[in-house]
């Protein structure tokens, strides 16, 4: 009986296998973004405060019931020559009726996610640029970015290929209109 020869793994497959086998310390996040493994430390209190302010408004004021997750990873598209992106947004919002967050797999597809949320922290460029491209490639309709460095909030919409075609940036303190299925003005006055 002859053993079957195994095909060698591609660089993409090796990177993805290595990433999925990581055992990060508690509180740290590991992501695979455009072919790079990124490990980030636990967020600070201000970071979490911004998220809490947004989540409470979305839950109370959206036109439909929304679910929120700050821990579920998303399997997204892939950049040329890279394995599939695996990103953990600071937050995802999805219509409650879809119940997207069920299941044991820590990584879920992005279909049905209404909006992703990122609050800048230790790697603001990654939030502003790299993750923006990942979310656009995946077709996520809305990307809300809270930029603590510039004191601005940006809503990106209308994804096409590697970017969003619409951008609305306002300074903290100004209300930001969120479209359907949210359909309310996000109050950013507490961000100051």
Residue 187 has pLDDT above 70, yes or no: yes
83: Cβ contacts below 8 Å, ≥ 6 apart: 12, 13, 15, 16, 19, 32, 35
pLDDT given at position 62: 97
How remote is the C-alpha of 125 from its chain's centroid?
A: 14
pLDDT tens-place string over residues 16-61: 888 889 999 988 989 999 988 888 899 999 999 999 999 999 999 9
Domains of the chain: 11-16+25-191 (3.90.1570.10)
Q: Quickly state the pLDDT bin for 5 (edges 50, 70, 90).
A: low
pLDDT given at position 9: 82
pLDDT given at position 3: 52
Residue 171 has pLDDT above 90, yes or no: yes
Residue 149 has pLDDT above 70, yes or no: yes
Neighbours of 79 (CB within 10 A): 17
| Cα torsion through 115, 121, 124, 127, rounded to 10 | -20
Instruction: Using alpha carbons, select from 50, 59, 55 the residue that is nearest to residue 190.
Output: 50
Q: What share of the chain is helix, strand, coil (3-state, %, to 5)?
A: 25, 30, 45
pLDDT tens-place string over residues 108-134: 999 999 999 999 988 899 999 999 999
Please tell me the distance from the alpha carbon of residue 111 to that of residue 188, in angstroms, as a whole number.
28
Structural tokens at position 24? 């990060």
Structural tokens at position 61? 């004021």
Please tell me the distance from the alpha carbon of residue 101 to that of residue 169, in angstroms, as a whole number.
29
Report the percent of the chain where pLDDT is more than 70.
Answer: 97
pLDDT given at position 76: 94
pLDDT given at position 14: 86
pLDDT tens-place string over residues 61-105: 999 999 999 989 999 988 888 899 999 999 999 999 999 999 999
Structural tokens at position 166? 């619409």
pLDDT given at position 133: 95
SS3 104: coil
Residue 184 has pLDDT above 70, yes or no: yes
pTM for the full predicted model: 0.89
């Amino acid at each position: 009986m002859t053993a079957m020869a195994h095909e060698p793994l591609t660089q993409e497959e090796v990177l993805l296998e290595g990433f999925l086998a990581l055992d990060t310390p508690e509180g740290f996040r590991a992501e695979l973004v455009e072919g790079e493994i990124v490990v980030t430390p636990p967020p600070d209190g201000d970071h979490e405060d911004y998220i809490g302010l947004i989540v409470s408004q979305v839950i109370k004021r959206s036109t439909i019931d929304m679910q929120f997750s700050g821990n579920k990873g998303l399997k997204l598209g892939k950049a040329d020559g890279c394995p599939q992106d695996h990103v953990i947004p600071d937050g995802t919002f999805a219509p409650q009726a879809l119940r997207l967050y069920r299941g044991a797999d820590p990584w879920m597809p992005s279909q049905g996610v209404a909006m992703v949320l990122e609050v800048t922290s230790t790697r603001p460029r990654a939030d502003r640029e790299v993750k923006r491209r990942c979310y656009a490639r995946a077709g996520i309709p809305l990307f809300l970015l809270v930029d603590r460095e510039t004191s601005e909030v940006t809503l990106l919409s209308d994804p096409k290929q590697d970017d969003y075609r619409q951008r609305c940036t306002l300074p903290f303190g100004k209300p930001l209109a969120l479209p359907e299925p949210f359909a309310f003005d996000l109050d950013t006055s507490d961000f100051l």
